[in-house]
Amino acid sequence: MTDAVRTPHPGLAESPFLAAARGEVPSHTPVWFMRQAGRSLPEYLKVREGIGMLESCMDADLVTEITLQPVRRYGVDAAIFFSDIVLPLKAVGVDLDIKPGVGPVVASPVRTMADVEAIPDLTDEHVPYISQAVRQLVAELGATPLIGFAGAPFTVASYLVEGGPSKEHARTKAMMFGAPDVWDALMRKIAGIAAAYLRIQAEAGASAVQLFDSWAGALTPADYRASVMPHSERVLAEAGELGVPRIHFGVGTSNLLGLMGEAGADVVGVDWRTPLEHAIPLVGDRAVQGNLDPTLVFAPTEVMTARAAEIIEAGRRAKGHIFNLGHGVIPSTDPGQLMALTEFVHGYQLR
């Protein structure tokens, strides 16, 4: 008997988040926040004190506690698994670290086919703490769904090729255009790792998954379609076999929203740069997620909620709408504002 046959909590059948993700009618507009389990919460800062990011992600009990914190505080409609998109690479042996104020830094960037071939495939044995944390979370969350996640192939490839965060992605694109065989091999490798990582989370009990493509906005539609989309498509196709809703989110991807939906998403995440009413016709017969500007939580509460109301109203035109920010929670965000925002969304009457 495997985790794949785990019996879900009966209350999940009533989940507004899952209903909206599947294009059904929820009892209210569901809301959760990207990076809700993170640096804006004082309780998070307390439990993370003196513990490195990747070390935190490998401690099942700590992952469980951090993931639960925003659910306890805000009463959001879904939990997002606390981890990092480069964690699977670390787990298979890639020499990398997350440096405060910088981000993921890779000791030996990928440059050649041999470098790609040296990266092992991900198996369950690499990440036993992930399965353990998901099982613990599902038991604690009950009727609140858990969202598993993975980094999309392009974004993870960029970290590996650049050696760290990049604004231009020059080395990444140089490989994509100048060494297409190496690029294809690298993307296949990362897609396999991402698909395995999502499978592990879903089999342990995650109710949905999200594929993050933070840097895909650096691409033209033609380059995305030719060199990236097939690999994201593979990840999402394999996730689809798990029977869980799939969310696909990218930053600065106004020109890619249609393609990101075509890649296999049930829900397309929209960042704050694109008005939701403009995004909905682009994504086809799919739900949308988003997309309040994360800086609006620093505005007066009435300004923030007025804009939230506009987004909820726009979301009514979609197959389904999950309220979220248009990117992650900013670390200096006042948790009280997120509480007020959650309560406003939950209390908003869809006319």
Q: Which of helix, strand or coil describes residue 267?
A: strand
Q: What is the DSSP letter of 22?
A: T
Cα–Cα distance, 227 to 216 (Å, whole number)? 11
What is the length of the chain?
351
Give yes or no for a contact between 208 and 21, defined as CB atoms under 8 angstroms apart.
yes
Residue 211 has what DSSP assignment?
E
Backbone φ and ψ of 333, nearest 5°:
-60, 140
Q: What is the DSSP string of 94-162?
A: --EEEETTTEEEESS---SHHHHHTSPPP-GGG-HHHHHHHHHHHHHHTTS-EEEEEE-HHHHHHHHHH
What ranges in the chain are assigned the alpha helix state H? 16-21, 42-48, 53-57, 60-74, 87-92, 113-117, 128-141, 153-162, 170-178, 180-204, 221-227, 229-240, 257-262, 276-283, 301-315, 335-347
Catalytic residues: 35, 39, 48, 84, 159
Helices 335-347 and 60-74 cross at an angle (nearest 10°) of 60
- Count other C-beta atoms under 10 Å from residue 114's C-beta: 9
| CA 155 – CA 215 distance, rounded (Å) | 5
Grouping H, G, I as helix, E, B as strand and the rest as coil, residue 250 is strand
SS3 of residue 176 by DSSP: helix
Helix (H, G, I), strand (E, B) or coil at 340: helix
Classify 232 as helix, strand or coil. Answer: helix
Separation CA 115–CA 136 (nearest Å): 36
